[in-house]
Structure 1
C-alpha cells in the first residue's frame, strides 16, 4: 500500500466526521457479527483419537469394523488407606458393591482381581458404547454411586481412557473464565502503570476486549464448520497479548507526535501512518506462522493454529481501524493528567538509548558475548526429556491418574492397557515367541481370529503404560515384526496410540519449524530490503527462541517437579517465541529505518531505542504476563507453555532488543554494505561508531 493511500485512509480515520463514521460503522459490524455468531457453540476439545493413517488408527478401525459389540471399559480400583492391606471383609464388601453398581447402571462386571501384596483389588466394568457423551455420563454416574457408598479404610477410584477424558473436562470447568479474568487484570494493571492515566488504559482494553469476543465467535464458527478442535484459553491469551502490543505501539507513537503538533487529529494521523507498516508486518508474520500449523497431522495443533491466526488478524484490524477513531474522539485529554503538548519534549535519551549507545561502542565483542550467553541458556534443553507420562498430564491430582498409579504400584503394569497386535499371517507362533523374548514383555496371549485375514493377540508389558519405557517397546515390537515376519503386522492399543501421537508431534515440529523460520526471514527481508541484515536478524531470533526453550525447561522442571516437557510444547513454544518475538525486532528496526532519514546510524539507533524502549518493554511485560496466566490452567502442557513463552518474551525484550540488536546494527553497518537496502552506503561511517552526546540528543 503506497504512502498517499495510507495518508488518505489516515485522514478519514482521524477527521472529526470520519472518526464518527468509522466508529459507528465498526461497532455496527461488530454487533451484527456477535449477534449472528452467538448461537454457535464451541466445538469440543480434542478427543485424543489415534493419529490418522498410523498403525494404531488402523488397528482401531479394524476392530470397530469387525467387532459386533462396541464396548467401553473402565477399571474400578480399591486400595487400602495409607497403603494398608485390605482385610477379607473389605474385599467382600467391595466385590458385592461393584456388582450392585453394575446392576444399577446396566454394566457388565468382570472378575475381581486381588494384587499379590493384598493392598489393592480391581474389577473391569464395561458397557455398550452409544456415543462419547453417553460414555462420559455413564462414567460420571458410576463415580456418583461409588461416592454414595463408601467403605471404611478403602479408597475406591475409577480409571481408564473415558475417566481421563472426564477428568480433563472437569478440570477445565470454569478455567477459561478464570484465565480470561486473570488475563484482563494483568493487562489492565500493566496499562495503568504504563500510561499513568485513569482514562487512557480503558480505550485499548475495550478495543482488544471486543476483538477477543469477536475472535471467540469466529473461532467457534471455524471449529464447527471445519471440524477443528482448539483451546479457547490460548486464543484469548494471544488476542489480548498481541492486540495490546499493537495498541501500545500506536499510542506510543501518537504520544510522541502530540509533543510536536498542536492538532491532535493531525498527530494521530501521522502516528497511524508511521505505525501501520510495523503493525501490519508483525501481524502478518504471526498470522502466516500460525497458519503453517494447519499442515500438522495432530488435530489439536492444527485447530489451534487456524483459529489463532483468525483471532490475531481480527485483533490487528480492530487496533488499526477502531482504536484510531476512539482516540480521535477522546482527544488529548485521554492522557490526563500527563497530557503531552508541543514544547514539552521528552528526555532526549533514556536508559534504553544509553544501553544501545554502550552496546554499539564495541559491537563485535558485545555481539559475540551476548550470543554465547544465549547459547548457554539454550543448553538447558540438553538434559530435558520430551514427553510426559499419562499421570503427569495434570498439574493437580485427578482420580483417573491416582487410580492408574495404584494399578501400576500393585498390579503388573501392562495388564491395565494391553498392546493389541494384528497379523494377516496364518501362523503367529514365531512372531509371538519373538515378542515374548523381549525384555519389557511380561507375557504374550494366545491368538484369536478377528477376520478370515487377520489374527489378533495381546502383548502385556512390565512397564507403566504411560511411561517412555512402554512407548519404546512399541517401536521395538514394530521393528522386530518387520525383521522376523513376512506378514503385515499392526501394533495398536492405547500405548501404541500414545507413541504414534508422540511421533506425530515430532513430525509436525520438524516440518513446521523450518517453515516458520522461513516466513520470518521473508518478512524481515521485506522490511529491511537487505537479505544480509534479514539473515542476521532471523538467526538472532532463532537463537533467542532456543535460549527461551532452554531456560524455560529448567524453570518448568523446578515449578512443576517434572523433568520433561510435554511433546506439544516445543512446537507451540517455537511458534509463539519466533513469531511473536520477531515483533519487537520489527518495531525497533522500522523505527531505526525512519530515524536514518534524519540521523547517521550511530545516532539513529540510540534515538530509536530511546523512543521504542518504553513501549517495547511494556509490550513485553504484557505479553509475558498474559502467557504466565496460562499457569492458572490445570494441564501441565499449558503451564509449561506459559512459563517458556513468558520467559522468552522477557529475554527478547530486555536482552536481545536492548543490547544485542543495537550492537548487531553497528556491526552490520561497519562495512561497505548499508544496513538497509534503501539506505545509502555506510562506507564513510566509522568502523566502530560511537555517538557523541549531542548526536544522541538530536
Structure 2
C-alpha cells in the first residue's frame, strides 16, 4: 500500500493536488451562488394552470384555442357568492351592489365583462362573475384574487357570508398552498437529513459537508431549470418544483453516503488523503453513476407521456439527478480531501501503518484476500446477525418476505386513482371550496364555469337541444356581442330576447362559421359528476358531427385524467424494460437483474397497497389523481433499484474474491449500515413533501417514503440477499462469475 501511495505521489505533483480540488470547490461555489439567486425566480416561471399541461391533440385544448376568436383577451373568471341565513333584504342587496363596485375597481379586473348581481331563486344568495385579466408579465390571477378577498373582508355584508370561488379562486388557493415550497419544504427536508446524519456519524462536520454538497447540487439544478424555463424549453409547475427539491436533496445525500463509506474504508488503508480519495472514487464511481443513470433513464422515459406535466417532470428531475451525481463525485471528494480524517471527528480513523484493532479494521472493510471465508468479519452486531440468518435459512427468509409483501399488495383492491375534483387538490382550509359549496346550495353548482361547446352556426339549435336534453345540464346560452350580458339564453324554442315582448333576439357571434355555446351544469364544474356529464355530452354531440367540440374547465380535467391513465399504461412497462437492460449491463448477468426487478415491483405493489388502505381509512382522502401511481412507480422503482445496485455491485466485488455465497454475506455486512442510512435519508426527504397542503404531494410523499423504508429494511436487507444466496452462483449467469465458486 505504501508503494502504491508513493507512486501516486510521484505521478501527481503537489500543486495539482491542491489546484484540482480548489478549482472544483470554486466552480461549485459559483453555481451555488447563481442557483441561490435563481430561487427567487422560480415562482415567475412556474404555472399551475391545468390546461397548459394537456396535449395539443386533446379536445379541450382545441376548444381553448378556438375560444380566442370569441374574446378580446385572456381572462379567468372569479365567482363571488354572498349567502345569508335568511332571505336577503333590500339593505343587504344594496350592500352587495356597493361591494360589486369596490371589487370592479381592483386593478386587473375587467369591469366591462363583469356580470350584474344575480340573486338566487330562493332569495337567500346572490352571485356575480368577475373576469380577471391574465396578462403575461403582469399580476397573476392569484395575486388579483388575493386583493379581491381583501376587499371582501373590508366590506362585509351584515348577516351574510361571502367567498370567492370559480377557476380564479381555486388557482389562488393552490398558489397559496405552494407558497411554502421554497422555505418550509427545504427547511423541513434539510433538518430531517441533518438529524439523521448526526445520529449516523456522530460528527459535527460531516453532516455539514454532506448537506452543503446536496444543497449546492440543488442550486445548480435550479439555476439550469430556471434558465431553460425562461427560454420556453421547459414548463415548470409547483408540484414539479417540489419534487425536484426533494429528489435532489435525497439522491445527492444518498450518493454522498456511498462515497463516504468508501472514503472511510480507504482512509484506514492509505496514509495520504490524496491516495485515499482516488481509491474511494475508484470503488464508488461505478455504483453511483449506475444508480444515477438508472434514475435518469427512468425519468427521461416520461418524455413519451401525453400529459405535459408528466413529460416535463422527466427532464427537470433528470437535470437534478445529473447534478446530484456530479456533486457526489467532484465537490464531495474535494471537500473531504480538504477535511481528511477530521471530517469524522471525534471518531478516529487510523491508517494501515498504525496499530488498528482487528475488529475496527474489519468494520472498515479491510480484508485479507487470502482468506476466502467469513472468518475475518466481525461476528457481532445487527448486520452480522442478518448475515447469519441469510446463510442458515435463505429459503425461509425469502419465502416469508415474498408472502409479507404479497399480503400488503392486497390493499391495491381499494386503490381509487381515477381522479379527484380540483376543489380537493388543496388540503385544509380553502375559501374557493367553501364558496363552491355555497354556490351549489343556491344556484346550479356549475354557474360561472360552464362547459364550452363550439360548433357550426347552422347546427346551433340542434346542439342546444341535445345539450338541454342531457342529464346534468341546467341551461344553455350562446355568446352574442349584441346581448347586454354578452350571452343570450337558448331554449328549445330558439334564442331568447332580453327586454319587453317584441324585442328582437340577439344574433349569435359567429367566427369562421362557428358559434360558441355555454352549457351550465347542475354539478360543480370540478366534480366527477360534471365530468361524466361532459363525457355524455360529447358522445351525444358526435351525432351532429365531429366538428362539434366540447371544452371548458370540466373538459380540461376530464382530458387530463384520460391522458394520465394512458401515460401510466405506456410508461410503466418502458421504465421496467430500460432499468432491466441497465442492470444486465452493470452486473454482467441476466438472472440477478431479473431478481432485482421482480423484488422492486413487488415492493412497489406492497407500498401502493398499504398506501391505498391508509389513504382510505386513516387520512380519508377523496381519491387520487391517476398520475399518483405513475410517479410513485417511477420514483420507487428507480430509487429502489439504487439500493440494490449499491448492494449487488459490492456483492459482485466480494464474490470475485470469496465466492458467491460468501460474497453475498460479506456484501450485506459491509453495505448494511450505509444503505440503511441512505434509505432513512431518502424516506425523510420525501416525507417532507407532506408539509405542503397539496393532496397530490401528500400522497406521493407517503407512497415513496413508506416504499423506500420497505425496500431498505425488507427487500434489500432480507429478500434479495436470501434469494441470491439460495440460488448461489447461478445468479451471475451467463457471466464467467456464474461458473465460479458457489
TM over 0.5: yes
Number of aligned residue pairs: give it.
Answer: 674
Question: Given the alignment, which residue of 225, 229, 234 partners 2:236?
Answer: 229
Question: Given the alignment, which residue of 124, 142, 145 partners 2:129?
Answer: 124
Relative distance call for 1:247 and 1:452 in structure 2 (3 A) is closer
1:203 positional shift: 1.8
Instruction: Tell me which moved more, 598-607 or 116-125.
Output: 116-125
Aligned counterpart, 1:406: 438
1:452 positional shift: 4.8
Residue 311 in 1 paired to residue 320 in 2? yes
1:264 positional shift: 4.6
2:303/2:311 contact within 8 Å kept: yes
Residue 78 in 1 paired to residue 78 in 2? no
Instruction: Tell me which moved more, 532-541 or 488-497.
Output: 532-541
Instruction: Tell me which moved more, 10-19 or 177-186.
Output: 10-19
Aligned counterpart, 1:4: none
1:19 positional shift: 4.0
Residue 276 in 1 paired to residue 280 in 2? no
1:438 positional shift: 3.4
Instruction: Tell me which moved more, 515-524 or 158-167.
Output: 158-167
1:142 positional shift: 2.4
d(CA) in 2 for partners of 1:69 and 1:307? 31
Residue 58 in 1 paired to residue 118 in 2? no
1:656 positional shift: 0.3
Aligned counterpart, 1:179: 185
Query: Where does the alignment leave 5 or more consecutive residues of structure 2 unmatched?
Result: 351-355, 364-377, 478-489, 496-507
Relative distance call for 1:103 and 1:354 in structure 2 (3 A) is closer
The 5 A counterparts of 1:343-382 are: 343=357, 344-345=360-361, 346=363, 347-348=378-379, 350-382=381-413
Residue 390 in 1 paired to residue 422 in 2? yes
What TM-score do you get using the length of structure 1 for normalisation? 0.89
1:36 positional shift: 6.0
d(CA) in 2 for partners of 1:206 and 1:673? 39
Instruction: Tell me which moved more, 584-593 or 135-144.
Output: 135-144
Residue 141 in 1 paired to residue 147 in 2? yes
1:241/1:622 contact within 8 Å kept: yes
1:223/1:303 contact within 8 Å kept: no
2:424/2:622 contact within 8 Å kept: no
Q: Secondary structure at the match of 1:416?
A: coil
Instruction: Tell me which moved more, 520-529 or 33-42.
Output: 33-42
Aligned counterpart, 2:173: 167
d(CA) in 2 for partners of 1:31 and 1:216? 14
1:617 positional shift: 0.7
1:654 positional shift: 0.5
Q: Secondary structure at the match of 2:163?
A: strand
Q: Secondary structure at the match of 2:279?
A: helix
The 5 A counterparts of 1:192-207 are: 192-207=198-213
1:249 positional shift: 0.9
Query: Where does the alignment leave 5 or more consecutive residues of structure 1 unmatched?
Result: 1-6, 686-698
2:29/2:216 contact within 8 Å kept: no
d(CA) in 2 for partners of 1:69 and 1:243? 45
Q: RMSD between aligned alpha carbons?
A: 2.9
The 5 A counterparts of 1:222-621 are: 222-225=228-231, 226-230=233-237, 231-341=240-350, 342-343=356-357, 344-345=360-361, 346=363, 347-348=378-379, 350-386=381-417, 387-424=419-456, 426-445=458-477, 446=490, 448=508, 450-482=510-542, 484-558=543-617, 560-621=619-680
Relative distance call for 1:577 and 1:486 in structure 2 (3 A) is same
1:8 positional shift: 13
Q: Secondary structure at the match of 1:121?
A: strand
Deviation sequence 1:470-517 (CA, Å, 0-9, x none) = 2122222222333x2345221111100111111222222222222221
d(CA) in 2 for partners of 1:140 and 1:619? 42
Relative distance call for 1:382 and 1:410 in structure 2 (3 A) is farther
1:581 positional shift: 1.1
1:423/1:487 contact within 8 Å kept: no
2:28/2:331 contact within 8 Å kept: no
Residue 643 in 1 paired to residue 675 in 2? no
Residue 93 in 1 paired to residue 106 in 2? no
Deviation sequence 1:199-251 (CA, Å, 0-9, x none) = 22222222222222222111211222214214433222111101111111111
Q: Secondary structure at the match of 2:658?
A: coil
Deviation sequence 1:175-217 (CA, Å, 0-9, x none) = 3211111111111111111101222222222222222222211
Deviation sequence 1:429-463 (CA, Å, 0-9, x none) = 55544444433333444274533532433333322
Relative distance call for 1:372 and 1:37 in structure 2 (3 A) is closer
1:111/1:123 contact within 8 Å kept: yes
Relative distance call for 1:31 and 1:411 in structure 2 (3 A) is same
Question: Given the alignment, which residue of 193, 209, 219 partners 2:215?
Answer: 209
